[in-house]
Chains A and B, each alone.
Chain A
């Protein structure tokens, strides 16, 4: 069983608790252990980097150093946390002066950054470390006929300068959905921004970005949208009513976490995956797809 240091991030404590629950349930079922970092602090979201970069690096480095102390790779389920810690590690690894300065501060908490742990997004653990074949082999409840729009968002992919991977035309999310037996839906805005923190700092801009995204996925006949980030989930799901109010639309599309989708395919009970805490219910879409599938196969 492979073990990772798990950094849930502030959102997963409450707002995205269902992501936390489903992450733990599905990884356990796939033979992966997520060991929560003992005294993790906030990654800083985008706000620290707006105010002081050195402070932002220090706060991320504290979490990385705690994972290193345990000799484990660090896993973040939130794309924002992932991006912050991934790039903090990059900068500290390539800038010895910066690392020395920050290590001087970390010594106050008896920690040191060495660069020995790698940083992973939770979805990477699924598609790369566990692997699609291993997931497929454990699927007991293939989600046949369910049309799923993969929503990558931004920070799983961008910005990557050195990794040499396909950040413009990735397919791993579609492949993961297909591994669950569901049908990945192709739509134009799968890599576009959900508005992120603009939902607070520029509400009009963010709501219009959310609207474009949702309409694009709905036009492609998606029954659900699947995300890998708590902020994307909140923007796309919880602000649907406000979008409808502002633009006179009638959007009502469920937005779930990829771990919930995988969990259902693995035969885990919806409740254990935190399903039921969304504002736009997920289960009706799942059941409808299953019934359609039954009637198709019966014919």
Chain B
């Protein structure tokens, strides 16, 4: 199956190492949680339990996505909106009769596609997540107005107006922060992060 499925992206490991896509995903899950998907029996409990899939918002249900991974349809999996539309409610994880942590699989796939920038075009999720992380690395705290920049440009005028009305109502009730908060030991914090991910040169 892997021979016939094209591998997208120049950094795909399968070409150099002979590791198949299903092995890659399995390793991804084994590495952090010991959670292989090989035991899936395709019962569809995950899809039925998923409030987003059952609402008809996913192009591939969780059950179908797992089947695609196991059959090596890498391109189709990476371009699916399934994991970016996962709300992390863990209903699938709790109910899976084989004990697969499906929500954690969705997280794994998000990271996989973020690292390779190989996600479906037009999704807000990846940009939002990256904006969020950059914001935290700068200040140590979350600040809602910065986040708005990552999604408002994708909205049409009616949605922007509705968002503005909600924001105004919250502002009038004193519920929107005017200034970003930041932690005190920011220097230590940033040095700490440099142990984990490259942040570039200290400012």
Residues of A within 8 A of B (CB): 10-11, 13-17, 39-42, 44-55, 58-59, 62, 91, 104-106, 108-110, 154-155, 158-161, 167-168, 192-193, 195-198, 200-206, 208-209, 212, 238-239, 241-242, 245, 277-279
Whether B133 pairs with A51 at a CB distance below 8 angstroms is: yes
A192, closest chain B residue (CB): B51
> Which of A91, A238, A277 lies in contact with B166, CB distance below 8 A?
A238
Q: A51-B130, A55-B133 are in contact. Are A154 and B88 (CB under 8 A)?
A: yes
Residues in A with CB closer than 8 Å to B43 are: none
Q: CB-defined interface of B117-148 with A at 8 Å, one 1/0 digit per residue?
A: 00000011110111011001000111110010
Q: A41-B136, A59-B136, A159-B101 are in contact. Are A15 and B176 (CB under 8 A)?
A: yes
Q: A40-B183, A108-B191, A204-B57 are in contact. Are A154 and B90 (CB under 8 A)?
A: yes
Whether B89 pairs with A201 at a CB distance below 8 angstroms is: no
Interface presence of B41 (CB below 8 A): no
> Which of B94, B173, B195 lies in contact with A167, CB distance below 8 A?
B94
Whether B90 pairs with A52 at a CB distance below 8 angstroms is: no
Interface presence of B185 (CB below 8 A): yes
Residues of B within 8 A of A (CB): 32, 51-52, 55, 57, 84-85, 87-91, 93-94, 101, 103-104, 107, 110-111, 114, 123-126, 128-130, 132-133, 136, 140-144, 147, 151, 155, 159, 162, 165-166, 169-170, 173-177, 181, 183-185, 188-189, 191-197
> Which of A54, A193, A201 lies in contact with B91, CB distance below 8 A?
A193
A104 to B195, CA, bound (A): 8
Whether A41 pairs with B132 at a CB distance below 8 angstroms is: no
A270 to chain B, nearest CB (A): 15
Residues in A with CB closer than 8 Å to B123 are: 201
- The 9 A-B residue pairs whose C-beta atoms are closest, nearest first, are A193-B89, A105-B195, A158-B90, A47-B132, A10-B142, A109-B188, A50-B129, A41-B140, A159-B90
B170, closest chain A residue (CB): A238
Residues in B with CB closer than 8 Å to A55 are: 133, 193, 196-197
